[in-house]
Amino acid sequence: MKKISIEIWIYIFLTIGWTTICLLSANNLFKAISQGMPMLVAIGVVLFVRRKGKWKDFGMTRIGTAKGYLLTLLVVAMVAVSFSIAWVMGIVQLPVITKMEMNQWGRFVFLVKLYLQVGFILSPLLFAFAEEVGWRGYMQTRLLHEVGANKAIWITAGCWAIFHYPFFFLSNYTDSGNIWINVLLFTIMIFPLSFLLGWIRISSKSIWPVVLCHGLINYLRGFMDTLFYVKKSYWTYVTGESGIFTILVWTILAVIVYQFMKQKNKVL
């Protein structure tokens, strides 16, 4: 039976440990650095290991495949699908415009222009890069060699979920809903999403479509959150990053991808 190496265990404990320490700090710079800890620790660990081609494991030297980018677009689109279902059900709504000299279409165009500004685009992509270089660039790739693709994806998913727990309890990761329900839903959501991101990483042999997928999910979620400004108090349980609808559509997509892989004899 293959075992996880000491190198990976060191990476897991250092990443989660330093993330927690940074979030406990009163220094805003340390808090900002906390989200980039997966990448920083990965670089630090790799510097101390002696392994041929160790930097290539990060997957930065390949641009990716068309198949990987296509799945990226499908995964991101599920966020819009989730919000759309919630909109139809009246859980999230467009605001009633009474004091602004514009209609709903004008407001939509205004928000699109706002979110096309460089800062709105780069911020989620940079944070996604800082996470994914560590989790799926380094850790999942090393686990792939140690325990195989299937376990590599699920172990990475579990660690990725735990990594976010300090953000929930120490930095107000969500601004509405019961924190324990949010943590539970987030943990459930991580697994179908991690399967999809993991498959993109393995099939494309590149970190770039994974970074793009992660970044665009956060970007589109922010846009949809602003677009549907009026929400029920329980909306985060239903849509958004880890609502029930989001979990459902990502799970369905993950099952479809799994079946496709099974037919192609590429089951992880």
In angstroms, rounded to a whole number, what is the distance separating the alpha carbons of residues 140 and 226?
33
214 residue type, one letter: H
Model confidence, pTM: 0.93
pLDDT greater than 70 at residue 147:
yes
94 residue type, one letter: L
89 residue type, one letter: M
Phi, psi of 230 (to 5 degrees): -90, 125
In angstroms, rounded to a whole number, what is the distance separating the alpha carbons of residues 65 and 188?
28
Residue 19: predicted pLDDT: 97
Phi, psi of 156 (to 5 degrees): -60, -40
Residue 148 exposure: Cα atoms within 13 Å on the Cβ side: 7
Q: What is the mean pLDDT of residues 64-70?
A: 94
Residue 62: predicted pLDDT: 93
In angstroms, rounded to a whole number, what is the distance separating the alpha carbons of residues 61 and 31?
30
Cα first-last separation, the chain: 17
266: confidence class by pLDDT, cuts 50, 70, 90: low
Token pair, residue 221, equals 């979620």
Residue 268: predicted pLDDT: 54
Residue 3: predicted pLDDT: 86
1: confidence class by pLDDT, cuts 50, 70, 90: low
Neighbouring residues of 178: CB distance < 8 A, sequence distance ≥ 6: none
- For all residues of the chain together, what is the average pLDDT? 93
Q: What is the DSSP string of 209-246?
A: HHHHHHHHHHHHHHHHHHHS-EE-TTGGGTSSSS-HHH
Residue 240: predicted pLDDT: 93
101: confidence class by pLDDT, cuts 50, 70, 90: confident
